[in-house]
C-alpha cells in the first residue's frame, strides 16, 4: 500500500509539475491571443479610418463638382448677378487648386488621375477662369449667348471632374476591397495562430516572459512617441498661427527660388494672391526701376550658392508702389539637400524714410552752417579791411603830438575799433566752434608760465580799475602738461577779463590745481589727470536762477550788464564749447553781492620735460647769406592793393625805420622780387590779377634766394592761418594789425640767415 501510495504521490507531483507550467503557458497564450485580437481590431479600425480619410479626400473632388455646379447655376440665372458669379468662381477656383495638391495623388490612388486633375485645373486657369473674370469685370458682356457658352464650358469641366471622381471612386473601392481582404486574411491567420498556440504551449513557456517584456517596452515607446507627436503637432499649430498672423511677409520657394507659398501678410502688403505669384521668381516679380541691381546680383549669388543671407532691397507692390524691406533668407535642408528657401521680409519703408529725412536734414544743416560760416568770414573780411585803416591810423595818431581833447577823441575811436574787432572775433570763434570746425592739438604747456602771461597781459586793466590780480599754483601742479595751450589761454583770458569787468572792489584770484587719476602708468610711463583752474572774483555775483543761462549764446547774468559793461554775451559760450572740445567742462558757482568762481577742468597728460618748448624755435633757411641786425636794415616789399591799407602799412613801417617798396598786385610783387632780393615780403592775400597765394607759389617755384613771406589778410576764421602757411608763406598777420604786431613779424627774420 505504501508503495502504491508512493507511486501515486510521485505521479501527482509529476502531474502538478506539468500542469502548473501548462496553466501558466496557457494563461500567457490567452493573454497574447487577447493582445493579438486587440491589435487585429485596431488594424480593422485603421482600415476603416483610412477608408474614411480616402472618402474625405475624394470628397474634395466632389466639392469641386458642387462648386462648378453652383457656378453653372449662377451663369444660367435669368438675372445673373456679378458678385454671385465671382463668389462661385472663387470657391470653384479654390477647390480646383486643392485638387491639384500632391497629397491628392495618394487620395486618387493613381498618378494618371492626379495628372488629369491638374490638366482640368490648367484648363480652368487658362480658359474658363479668365473668361468668368472678364464678364464679372464687365457685366455688360454677359449676353444670353455668352451665358450659354460659359455655362456649357463649366458643365463640360464639371463632367470631366465627374468622370475623374467616378474613376477615383472605382480605384478607392478597389483599394478598400484589397485592404479589407488583407485584413480578413490577417484575422483568419490570427485565429489559426490561436489554434497553433495551443499545441505549442510548452515551447512558448520560455518565451512568455521575454515577449511580455518586449510588449511592455513597445507600449512604453508607443506612449513616448505619441506624446512627442502630440507636442510636435501643438508646436506646428502654434507656428502656423504665428506665420498666418504675423505682419512680416513670409515667402516659401522651391530649390529654384520659385514661389510655392506666401502668407496673408504678403498678400495684404503686395496685393498679390498666392495664385498670382505661385511659380514666379520673387526677384523678377517684385523688383522695379529703382531697385539696386548690385543687391539683386548679391541675392542671386547667395541663392545659387545655397547660402543664407540678409539684405535690404527696394521692392514694388502690385500697384507699382515702392517699399523697402529687410530680407532674411534661409535654405530648407532635407537629408543634406536644399529643397527650398524661406524668406522673411520686414517692411522698413518708414525707417528708410526717416533715415533719408535725417540725412537730408543733416546735409541741409551742414550746408546752412557752411553758408553761415562763409557769410561770417566774408563779413569779417569786409569789416576788418576798413577797420585795419581805422585802428592803424588812430594808433599812428596816438603816437603824435595831440591836444588833450584830440587825444581823447582818437583814444575813444581807437578803443571803439578794438571793441568792434573783439566782437567780430567772438562771432567768428563762436561760429567755428558751433559748426565743429575748430581743430585742437595737444602740445606742451608750462602751467605757471601760462598763468603768469595771462595775468601780466591783463594787469594794466586791473591797475586802471584799482583791482588786485594774482595767481597761484601749488607744488602738486606739474610744470608741464599736454593740452591745447592756445585754447587754454583763450579761456583763461576770457574768464579773468570777465572777472575784472564785473568787479568794482577787491580783485581777481586765479588758482590752479592738479588731480591725478588713480590709474597705472600707460605704455609711455605718462600718468593721466585733470588740470583744474578756478577764477575767483569779488564782483556783483550772479543770481541762482541765471547761472545756467550765462553759458548760452548772447545771454548775460543780467540784461542791464550789457548797458553797464558792454559785450556780446558770447564769451562764456565760447569758453564752454572750447572746454568741451578739449574734453573738459566749465562750471560756475556764485553768491550775489559776494562774488563768483568759474572753474575749468581739463583732462591732460603730464609731458616729458624734453618736449618743453618743442617746435617753438625758428628754423634757419638753407640759402644762408648774412645776418640782419635790425629792422631798419631789412629790405621790405609791401604787396597791397587797397590804397588806404597801403598808406597805413607804409606809415607804420616808417615808424619802425623801414622804407618799403610797393606792389599793387601779385604780378607786380613777383616781378619786383625778380629785380631785387627782399628780406621780407608783406603779401596781401586778396589782390587782383594774381592773389597773394599765387604770388607766393610763383616765388617758391622760381627758386633761388627766398624772402620771408608774411601773409596780410582780413580772413581770420578757424584754419585760415594753417591754410596759408601750407601754401608756402612763412608767417601770418591778421588785419587789423597793430604797430607791435608788425614789429613782431619783422623781428622774426632778424634771427634768420638770409
Largest Cα span, the chain: 177
Write out the three cell numbers for 62: 466632389
Q: Which three cell numbers stand for residue 222?
A: 508607443
Whether 116 contacts 164, CB under 8 Å = yes
Q: How far apart are CA 95 and CA 97, in angstroms?
A: 5
CA proximity to 680, closest of 653, 719, 716: 653
Cell of 410: 582818437
Q: What is the pLDDT of residue 254?
A: 93
Number of C-beta neighbours around residue 573 at 10 A:
22
Say which residue, 412 or 272, is predicted with more confidence: 272
pLDDT band at 153 (very low <50, low <70, confident <90, very high): confident
Q: Average pLDDT for residues 123-132, to the nearest whole number? A: 87
Cell numbers representing residue 380 in the block: 569779417
All structural domains of the chain with their residue ranges: 2-199, 246-347, 357-430, 439-611, 631-751
- Beta strand extents in 525-629 (DSSP E only): 528-537, 585-591, 595-606
Task: Name residues whose C-beta falls within 8 Å of residue 158's C-beta, 6 or more positions apart in sequence.
Answer: 65, 68, 69, 72
Model confidence at 18, in pLDDT bands (50, 70, 90)?
Answer: low
pLDDT of 22 reads 58
Q: What's the CATH class of domain 246-347?
A: alpha beta
CATH code linked to domain 2-199: 1.20.1420
Instruction: Tell me if 108 sits within 8 A of 117, measured CB to CB.
Output: yes
CA dist 273 and 129 (Å) reads 15
By CB neighbour count within 10 A (0-12 exposed, 13-18 middle, 19+ buried), where does 40 fall?
A: middle
pLDDT at 47 over 70: no
The pLDDT value given to residue 8:
52
On average, the pLDDT of the chain sits at 77
% of the chain beyond a pLDDT of 90: 21
pLDDT band at 174 (very low <50, low <70, confident <90, very high): confident
What 3-state DSSP class applies to 292? coil
Fold (CATH) for 357-430 = Helix Hairpins (1.10.287)
Whether the CB-CB separation of 583 and 603 falls below 8 Å is answered with: yes
* pLDDT higher at 169 or 421: 169
Residue 7: what pLDDT? 42
Cβ atoms within 10 A of the Cβ of 19, count? 12
- Highest-confidence segment of 152-166, 182-196, 345-359, 426-440: 345-359
Domain range 631-751, CATH class: alpha beta
pLDDT digits (tens, 9 = 90+) for 685-715: 888 899 999 999 999 998 888 999 999 887 6
Residue 155: how many other CB atoms lie within 10 Å: 17
Give the C-alpha separation, 287 to 238, whole Å. 32
The domains spanning 357-430 and 631-751 adopt the same CATH topology? no
How many C-beta neighbours within 10 Å does residue 363 have?
10
| pLDDT value of residue 715 | 67
Question: Over 606-618, what HEC string results?
Answer: ECCHHHCCCCCCC
Mean pLDDT confidence for 624-650: 73
Distances (CA, A) of 402 to 261, 393, 432, 657: 99, 14, 41, 22
pLDDT digits (tens, 9 = 90+) for 501-547: 889 899 999 999 888 765 444 544 445 678 899 999 998 888 877 77
The band of 262, judged by pLDDT with boundaries at 50, 70 and 90, is: very high
pLDDT tier at 418, thresholds 50, 70, 90: low
**Inter-CA distances, 145 with 76, 148, 157, 336, Å:** 10, 5, 18, 58
Element (H, E) at 730: none
Strand order in the sheet with 322-334: 259-262, 249-254, 337-347, 322-334, 309-316
Say if residue 180's pLDDT is above 90: no
Query: Alpha-carbon torsion 478, 484, 489, 491, what sign?
Result: negative
Q: What is the pLDDT of residue 312?
A: 92
Asked if residues 500 and 598 have their Cβ atoms less than 8 Å apart, the reply is no
Name the DSSP letter for residue 593.
Answer: T
Mean pLDDT of 476-502: 84
Give helix then strand counts, H and E, for the chain. 22, 17
pLDDT for 587 equals: 87
pLDDT of residue 709: 93
- Comparing 583 with 728, the larger pLDDT belongs to 728
Q: Which residues contact 59 (CB under 8 A, 6 or more apart)?
A: none
| Average pLDDT rounded to a whole number, residues 323-335 | 92
Is the four-CA dihedral 664, 666, 667, 668 of positive or negative sign? Answer: positive
Q: Is the pLDDT of residue 111 over 90?
A: no
Cβ atoms of 606 and 480 within 8 Å: the answer is yes
Return d(Cα 648, Cα 662) in angstroms, integer.
13
Peptide linkage before 382 cis (omega within 30 of 0): no
What is the Cα 423 distance to its own chain's centre?
40
**Higher per-residue confidence, 624 vs 515:** 515
Assess whether pLDDT exceeds 50 at residue 611.
no
Residues 6+ apart with CB under 8 A from 290: 314, 322
Beta pairing class for 585-591 and 595-606? antiparallel
Strands 661-663 and 249-254: unpaired
Residue count (the chain): 754
| Span 210-257, pLDDT tens digits | 656 665 676 777 777 777 767 755 655 555 565 666 788 999 999 999
What pLDDT was estimated at residue 123? 85
Whether residue 313 has pLDDT greater than 80: yes
pLDDT bin (cut points 50, 70, 90) of residue 51 is low
The per-residue pLDDT for 397 is: 78
- CATH code assigned to 439-611: 3.30.565.10
Strands 595-606 and 528-537: antiparallel
Residue 429: the pLDDT is 59
DSSP code of 291? S
Q: How far apart are CA 168 and CA 105, in angstroms?
A: 10
What pLDDT was estimated at residue 681? 94
Distance CA 588, CA 535 (A): 10
CA Rg, the chain, in Å?
50
The CA-based angle 96-101-107, given to 5 degrees, is: 95
Strand pairing report for 249-254 and 337-347: antiparallel
Q: Can you tell me the distance from the alpha carbon of 365 to that of 656, in angstroms, rounded to the nearest whole number?
A: 48
pLDDT value for 419: 58
Model pLDDT, residue 430: 58
| pLDDT given at position 246 | 78
From CA 161, how far away is CA 100, in angstroms rounded?
A: 12
Distance CA 413, CA 591 (A): 37
pLDDT, greater one: 433 or 754 = 433
Which stretches does DSSP call E strand in 460-559? 468-472, 480-483, 507-516, 528-537
Please indicate whether residue 67 or residue 426 has the higher confidence score (pLDDT): 67
Give the whole-angstrom CA distance, residue 332 versus residue 352.
Answer: 30
Give yes or no for a contact between 450 and 488, defined as CB atoms under 8 angstroms apart. Answer: yes
Lowest average pLDDT, out of 49-63, 300-314, 325-339, 374-388, goes to: 49-63
Amino acid at each position: 500500500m505504501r508503495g502504491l501510495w508512493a507511486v501515486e504521490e510521485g505521479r501527482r507531483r509529476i502531474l502538478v509539475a506539468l500542469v502548473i507550467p501548462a496553466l501558466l503557458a496557457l494563461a500567457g497564450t490567452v493573454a497574447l491571443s487577447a493582445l493579438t485580437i486587440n491589435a487585429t481590431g485596431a488594424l480593422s479600425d485603421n482600415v476603416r479610418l483610412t477608408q474614411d480619410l480616402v472618402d474625405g479626400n475624394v470628397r474634395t473632388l466632389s466639392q469641386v463638382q458642387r462648386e462648378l455646379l453652383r457656378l453653372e447655376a449662377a451663369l444660367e440665372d435669368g438675372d445673373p448677378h456679378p458678385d454671385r458669379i465671382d463668389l462661385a468662381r472663387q470657391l470653384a477656383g479654390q477647390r480646383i487648386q486643392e485638387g491639384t495638391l500632391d497629397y491628392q495623388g495618394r487620395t486618387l490612388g493613381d498618378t494618371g488621375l492626379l495628372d488629369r486633375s491638374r490638366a482640368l485645373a490648367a484648363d480652368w486657369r487658362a480658359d474658363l477662369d479668365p473668361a468668368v473674370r472678364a464678364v464679372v469685370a464687365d457685366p455688360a458682356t454677359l449676353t444670353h449667348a455668352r451665358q450659354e457658352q460659359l455655362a456649357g464650358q463649366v458643365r463640360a469641366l464639371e463632367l470631366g471632374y465627374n468622370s475623374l471622381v467616378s474613376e477615383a471612386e472605382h480605384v478607392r473601392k478597389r483599394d478598400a476591397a484589397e485592404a479589407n481582404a488583407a485584413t480578413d486574411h490577417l484575422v483568419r491567420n490570427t485565429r489559426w495562430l490561436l489554434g497553433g498556440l495551443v499545441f505549442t504551449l510548452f515551447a512558448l513557456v520560455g518565451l512568455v516572459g521575454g515577449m511580455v517584456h518586449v510588449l511592455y517596452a513597445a507600449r512604453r515607446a508607443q506612449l513616448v512617441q505619441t506624446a512627442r507627436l502630440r507636442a510636435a503637432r501643438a508646436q506646428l499649430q502654434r507656428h502656423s498661427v504665428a506665420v498666418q498672423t504675423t505682419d512680416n511677409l513670409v515667402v516659401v520657394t522651391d530649390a529654384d527660388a520659385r514661389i510655392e507659398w506666401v502668407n496673408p501678410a504678403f498678400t495684404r502688403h503686395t496685393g498679390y494672391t498666392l495664385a498670382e505669384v505661385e511659380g514666379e521668381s520673387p526677384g523678377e516679380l517684385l523688383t522695379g526701376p529703382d531697385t539696386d541691381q548690385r543687391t539683386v546680383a548679391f541675392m542671386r549669388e547667395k541663392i545659387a550658392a545655397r547660402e543664407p543671407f540678409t539684405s535690404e532691397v527696394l521692392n514694388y507692390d502690385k500697384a507699382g508702389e515702392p517699399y523697402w524691406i529687410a530680407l532674411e533668407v534661409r535654405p530648407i535642408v532635407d537629408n543634406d539637400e536644399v529643397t527650398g528657401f524661406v524668406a522673411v521680409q520686414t517692411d522698413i519703408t518708414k525707417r528708410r524714410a526717416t533715415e533719408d529725412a535725417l540725412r537730408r536734414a543733416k546735409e541741409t544743416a551742414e550746408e546752412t552752417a557752411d553758408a553761415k560760416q562763409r557769410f561770417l568770414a566774408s563779413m569779417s573780411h569786409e569789416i576788418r579791411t576798413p577797420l585795419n585803416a581805422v585802428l592803424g591810423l588812430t594808433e599812428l595818431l596816438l603816437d603824435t603830438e595831440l591836444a588833450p581833447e584830440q587825444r581823447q577823441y582818437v583814444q575813444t575811436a581807437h578803443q571803439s575799433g578794438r571793441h568792434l574787432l573783439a566782437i567780430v572775433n567772438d562771432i567768428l570763434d563762436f561760429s567755428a566752434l558751433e559748426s565743429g570746425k575748430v581743430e585742437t592739438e595737444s602740445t606742451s604747456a608750462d602751467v605757471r608760465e601760462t598763468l603768469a602771461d595771462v595775468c601780466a597781459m591783463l594787469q594794466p586793466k586791473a591797475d586802471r580799475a584799482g583791482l588786485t590780480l594774482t595767481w597761484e599754483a601749488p607744488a602738486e601742479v606739474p610744470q608741464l602738461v599736454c593740452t591745447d595751450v592756445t585754447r587754454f589761454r583763450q579761456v583763461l583770458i576770457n574768464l579773468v577779463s570777465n572777472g575784472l569787468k564785473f568787479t568794482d572792489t577787491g580783485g581777481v584770484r586765479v588758482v590752479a590745481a592738479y588731480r591725478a587719476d588713480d590709474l597705472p602708468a600707460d605704455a609711455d610711463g605718462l600718468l593721466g589727470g585733470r588740470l583744474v583752474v578756478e577764477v575767483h572774483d569779488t564782483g556783483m555775483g550772479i543770481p541762482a536762477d541765471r547761472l545756467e543761462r550765462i553759458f548760452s549764446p548772447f545771454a548775460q547774468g543780467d540784461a542791464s550788464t550789457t548797458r553797464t559793461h558792454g559785450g556780446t554775451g558770447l564769451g562764456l559760450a565760447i569758453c564752454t564749447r572750447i572746454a568741451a572740445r578739449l574734453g573738459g567742462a566749465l562750471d560756475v558757482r556764485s553768491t550775489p553781492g559776494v562774488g563768483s568762481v568759474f572753474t575749468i577742468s581739463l583732462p591732460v597728460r603730464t609731458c616729458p620735460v624734453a618736449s618743453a618748448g618743442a617746435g617753438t624755435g625758428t628754423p634757419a633757411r638753407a640759402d644762408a647769406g648774412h645776418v640782419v641786425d635790425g629792422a631798419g636794415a631789412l629790405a621790405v616789399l609791401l604787396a597791397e592793393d587797397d590804397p588806404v591799407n597801403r598808406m597805413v602799412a607804409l606809415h607804420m613801417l616808417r615808424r619802425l625805420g623801414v622804407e618799403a617798396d610797393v606792389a599793387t598786385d601779385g604780378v607786380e610783387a613777383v616781378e619786383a622780387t625778380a629785380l631785387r632780393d627782399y628780406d621780407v615780403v608783406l603779401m596781401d592775400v586778396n589782390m587782383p590779377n594774381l592773389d597773394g597765394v599765387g604770388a607766393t607759389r610763383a616765388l617758391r617755384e622760381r627758386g633761388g634766394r627766398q624772402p620771408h613771406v608774411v601773409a596780410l589778410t582780413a580772413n581770420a576764421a578757424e584754419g585760415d592761418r594753417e591754410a596759408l602757411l601750407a601754401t608756402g608763406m612763412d608767417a601770418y598777420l591778421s588785419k587789423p594789425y597793430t604797430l607791435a604786431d608788425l614789429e613782431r613779424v619783422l623781428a622774426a627774420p632778424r634771427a634768420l640767415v638770409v
